[in-house]
């Protein structure tokens, strides 16, 4: 394309080529990365391309992806949530314990868990807005408190580190079908979390790109003061984003519970970073205001392919963390470049 295609408004502006426009997409870097990782393991591990292996990879990706989506939205809104990982465990414990203690239908526990987990998310958002402290500090506090409560309450009520089995309780089968069943398609088993993941990505993309709330999410992350000045409800937007993370934690927590029938109270620590890394690899800026839900899904897919690919290639799984670190660095460098390009004042 030549500059003559552009309207004569400013001769210094050259028309962007389609390639350049593509480069401006937040998820582009992660897509290229995902293809590279896929090809790499397709050659390195013979069993990687088998349908059953791909189903395993998708399952691993979906368990991360379900949380990476709301975490990505939150990051676009300019905040972190370090409590996201342990909140999954809290949600599972809440569900399990409340059904067991009340000897009720497990769906009652699932409902209680939903309400309390959403309240936890709202608490994070509320504290952030009221104190104006960095979200890093607020959610680090929630993170530690939740770890303590997960272990403490489980010990207090069940006297061990795990909950009692709820497998023989009413409603268990139907809850398992919703949160942890397996669907066989063309002879290959797929976990239902993959469906949850796809639905969440689609929903989040729609919210982000097509609704007013999405516009507000970009704005509060990109320039909070400017957003407030034109009448965007900044506090409401942020509390909503934290409740979105809580919703993800609830879905993941119920999956965790109904995959087995007990929950280990110490689980989930460290996962919050995995979600953040997936979102960052997927093109979310650490500083907020930029990113996409699809990107977070691709980030989660890279995670799933790497963690399972190493196993299929029969390497020492310790190398997983190395790959992760390298990819995070690459992704962040790419993002920094994108931001510079996008913010450059010509």
Partner 1 sequence: MTQPSSRTPLVELSDVSKQYGNVRALEGVSLTARAGEITCVLGDNGAGKSTLIKIIAGLHQHDGGTLALDGEETRLSSPREALDRGIATVYQDLAVVPLMPVWRNFFLGSEPRKGAGPFKRMDVDHMRRTTRAELLRMGIDLRDVDQPIGTLSGGERQCVAIARAVYFGAKVLVLDEPTAALGVKQSGVVLKYVAAARDEGLAVVFITHNPHHAYLVGDRFVLLKRGTMTGNHTRHEITLDELTRQMAGGNELEDLRHELERR
Q: Name which of residues 7 to 36 contact partner 1 (CB under 8 A).
A: 7-10, 13, 15-16
Q: Name which of residues 281 to 310 contact partner 1 (CB under 8 A).
A: 285, 289-290
- Binding mask 46-85 toward partner 1 (x if CB under 8 A, else -) reads ----------------------------------------
Residue (of 170, 208, 180) closest to 59 by Cα position = 180
Q: Which is nearer to partner 1, 9 or 156 (CB)?
A: 9
> Is 68:283 a contact under the CB 8 Å cutoff?
no
Dist. CA 72–CA 204, nearest whole Å: 10
Selected from 110, 138, 192, 227, the binder of partner 1 by CB under 8 A is 227
End-to-end CA separation in angstroms for the chain: 20
Q: Which is nearer to partner 1, 105 or 223 (CB)?
A: 223
Question: Is 230 a residue that touches partner 1 (CB under 8 A)?
Answer: yes
Distances (CA, A) of 76 to 53, 255, 276, 285: 33, 26, 11, 7
Question: Is 215 a residue that touches partner 1 (CB under 8 A)?
Answer: yes
Strand partners, 182: 191
Question: Is 200 a residue that touches partner 1 (CB under 8 A)?
Answer: no
Q: Which is nearer to partner 1, 2 or 345 (CB)?
A: 345
Selected from 92, 232, 243, 334, the binder of partner 1 by CB under 8 A is 232
Q: What angle do CA 53, 57, 62 make, to 5 degrees?
A: 145
Give the interface size with partner 1 as a residue count (CB under 8 A): 34
Distances (CA, A) of 236 to 31, 80, 125, 189: 33, 16, 9, 41
Dist. CA 144–CA 146, nearest whole Å: 5
Q: Name which of residues 321 to 340 contact partner 1 (CB under 8 A).
A: 339
Q: Which is nearer to partner 1, 6 or 112 (CB)?
A: 6
Selected from 222, 268, 282, 283, the binder of partner 1 by CB under 8 A is 222
């Amino acid at each position: 394309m030549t500059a003559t295609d552009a309207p004569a408004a400013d001769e210094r502006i050259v028309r962007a080529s389609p390639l350049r426009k593509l480069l401006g997409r937040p998820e582009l870097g992660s897509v290229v990365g995902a293809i590279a990782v896929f090809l790499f393991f397709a050659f390195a591990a013979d069993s990687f391309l088998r349908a059953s292996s791909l189903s395993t990879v998708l399952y691993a990706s979906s368990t991360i992806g379900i949380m990476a989506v709301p975490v990505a939205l939150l990051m676009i809104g300019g905040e972190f949530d370090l409590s996201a990982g342990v909140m999954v465990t809290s949600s599972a414990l809440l569900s399990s314990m409340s059904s067991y203690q009340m000897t009720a239908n497990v769906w009652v526990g699932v409902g209680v868990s939903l309400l309390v987990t959403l309240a936890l998310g709202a608490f994070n958002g509320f504290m952030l807005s009221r104190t104006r402290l960095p979200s890093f500090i607020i959610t680090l506090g929630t993170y530690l408190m939740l770890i303590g409560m997960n272990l403490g309450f489980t010990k207090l009520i069940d006297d061990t580190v795990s909950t009692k089995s709820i497998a023989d309780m009413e409603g268990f089968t139907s809850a398992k079908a919703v949160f942890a069943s397996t669907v066989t398609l063309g002879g290959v088993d797929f976990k239902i979390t993959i469906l949850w993941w796809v639905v969440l990505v689609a929903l989040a993309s729609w919210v982000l790109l097509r609704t007013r709330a999405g516009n507000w999410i970009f704005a509060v992350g990109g320039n909070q003061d400017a957003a407030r000045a034109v009448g965007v409800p900044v506090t409401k937007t942020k509390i909503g984003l934290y409740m979105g993370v809580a919703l993800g934690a609830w879905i993941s927590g119920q999956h965790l519970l109904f995959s087995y029938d007990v929950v280990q109270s110490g689980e989930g620590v460290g996962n919050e970073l995995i979600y953040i890394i997936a979102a960052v690899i997927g093109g979310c800026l650490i500083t907020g205001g930029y990113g996409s839900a699809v990107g977070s899904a691709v980030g989660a897919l890279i995670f799933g392919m790497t963690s399972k690919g190493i196993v299929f290639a029969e390497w020492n799984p310790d190398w997983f963390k190395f790959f992760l670190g390298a990819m995070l660095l690459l992704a962040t460098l790419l993002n920094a470049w994108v931001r510079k390009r996008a913010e450059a004042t010509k």
